[in-house]
């Protein structure tokens, strides 16, 4: 945990002793002059002006996929609710990358847990958030693995606004597609739709078919690329370290070798190059209240115990 304390100290140092090389910097308004942030126009329209109207040749495909997934989720998750035409449709979205610490949309609940059949890998390229066309960053995607488990968090969203935002952020800009899978909560209670069984969620996954795909490489090469890349949303290092922090704080007993080995290598490279950690971390996001239902834990049921590996006892004749 030493490097976490070190990082917090550097953040405090940055907040208390921020220095601008440009003496006129404090007089500049970044919102009035988007070019100062170095962000492309379409990125500004999306994330700073809220303009989702830009046309895209895949618009109908994304809309159809999202509509079908939400329809299936509502059928699966709301089949016990009374009919009410005034109730807006809702669904759950699973995050395993930046959505874990910066969702960017309104939600009513956030629950930590995992999905099966996938592992997290930094094999997707990114040119609109954590990299550029010349130096694409590395971000997380999911790779199918029969024995795999990926931990993250699920958000409950209502209406179409959040899905429209995610369609732009993940699909159009990020190159991800929408899949439907089952989510298992870390904690179940009477306060959630979870009673130990899985619930259907939407998940955004990048495949080798998209134009940003970088694919498998050695961990050392991936770490090198992460250290060198920065985009309109900030440094690629921040993406990795905040995700590792999320995992360590929310699921301290969970081991993710790919993620934590990359974290170690990146911190080592920053130290070797004498790059201050505060210079790549940006502004800390607001803290998300996750698993707010923990204090109302549901009593254990057979559904929970069914997940515990069987153990054989040997009878000793003593």
DSSP classification of residue 114: E
Query: What's the rounded Cα separation, in Å, for the pair 310 and 259?
Result: 29
C-alpha separations of 243 from 2, 53, 177 in Å? 17, 30, 21
Q: How far apart are CA 167 and CA 19, in angstroms?
A: 37
DSSP H/E element including 77: helix 59-77
Rg (CA), the chain: 21
CA–CA distances in Å: residue 278 to residues 22, 101, 263, 267: 19, 18, 15, 12
Of 170, 238, 250, 263, which is the active-site residue? 170
Q: Is 24 left (phi over 0), alpha (psi -120 to 50) or beta?
A: alpha
Q: Cα–Cα distance between 80 and 168 in angstroms, integer?
A: 32
- Note the residue count of the chain: 318
Give dist(CA 45, CA 67) in Å, integer. 24
- At a CB cut-off of 8 Å and minimum separation 6, what does 226 contact? 122, 137, 138, 236, 237, 239, 240, 262, 266
* Closest among 231, 246, 230 to 101, alpha carbons compared: 246
d(CA 72, CA 89): 11
**261 is a catalytic site residue:** no
Active site residues: 170
């Amino acid at each position: 945990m030493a490097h976490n304390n070190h990082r917090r100290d550097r953040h405090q140092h940055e907040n208390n002793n921020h220095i601008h090389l440009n003496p006129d910097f404090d007089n500049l308004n970044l919102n009035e002059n988007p070019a100062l942030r170095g962000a492309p126009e379409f990125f500004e329209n999306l994330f700073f002006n809220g303009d989702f109207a830009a046309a895209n040749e895949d618009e109908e495909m994304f809309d159809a996929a999202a509509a079908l997934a939400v329809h299936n989720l509502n059928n699966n998750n709301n089949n016990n609710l009374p009919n009410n035409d005034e109730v807006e449709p809702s669904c759950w979205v699973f995050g395993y990358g930046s959505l874990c610490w910066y969702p960017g949309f309104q939600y009513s609940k956030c629950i930590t847990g995992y999905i099966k059949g996938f592992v997290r890998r930094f094999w997707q390229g990114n040119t609109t958030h954590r990299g550029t066309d010349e130096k694409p960053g590395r971000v997380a995607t999911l790779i199918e693995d029969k024995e795999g488990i990926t931990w993250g968090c699920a958000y409950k969203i209502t209406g179409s606004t959040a899905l429209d935002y995610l369609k732009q952020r993940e699909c159009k800009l990020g190159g991800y597609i929408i899949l439907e899978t089952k989510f298992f909560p870390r904690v179940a209670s009477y306060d959630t739709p979870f009673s130990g069984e899985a619930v259907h969620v939407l998940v955004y996954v990048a495949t080798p078919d998209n134009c940003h795909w970088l694919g498998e490489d050695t961990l050392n090469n991936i770490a090198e690329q992460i250290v060198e890349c920065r985009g309109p949303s900030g440094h690629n290092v921040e993406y990795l370290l905040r995700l590792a922090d999320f995992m360590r704080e929310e699921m301290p007993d969970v081991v993710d070798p790919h993620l934590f080995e990359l974290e170690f290598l990146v911190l080592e490279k920053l130290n070797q190059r004498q790059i201050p950690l505060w210079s790549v971390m940006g502004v800390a996001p607001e803290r998300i209240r996750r698993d707010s239902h923990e204090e109302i834990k549901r009593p254990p049921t057979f559904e929970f115990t069914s997940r515990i590996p069987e153990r054989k006892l040997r009878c000793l004749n003593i």
